[in-house]
Structures are given as C-alpha cells and as structure tokens.
Amino acid sequence: MERLHADGVNVLNAAGSAAWQTVFHFHLHVIPRYTDDPLRLPWIPGPGDPDEIKAAADALEDQA
C-alpha cells in the first residue's frame, strides 16, 4: 500500500471455474484499491493498461 499509495488492498483467490478461476493452479490476486476507484466486484477480467502495469511493477521493485 505504501509504495503504490493505495488506500486499501483486496486479496482474492478464485478456486474453480464457478468462482471465475481462469488459471487452474493456486494463485492470488493482490489488488491495490483507491478511494472512489471504478472497480466493483464481481468484475469481468480484461487486459490492463501496459503503462500502469509497468509503473506499478517499478514502484514494487526491490529498492535494495
């Protein structure tokens, strides 16, 4: 939350196709949340913005 300046975070595990699992092994979605962001659950997965994804990856990269 600190590095992405998020107001909160959702941690989501989808287990089984009825729960929207699309990759059939255990994995978690860690979703940074911001006050008044447009995300509402359930959502329809779609491609993310490449520039936003790169900026988030850069912010989360180890600063050592």
Q: Is the dihedral of CA 46, 20, 6, 60 positive or negative?
A: negative
Collect the ranges in the chain with pLDDT lower than 50: none
Specify the pTM.
Answer: 0.62
Q: What is the pLDDT of residue 63?
A: 67
Q: What is the pLDDT of residue 21?
A: 85
**8 A C-beta contact, residue 6 and residue 33:** yes
User: pLDDT tens, 22-38?
Assistant: 888 888 889 899 999 98
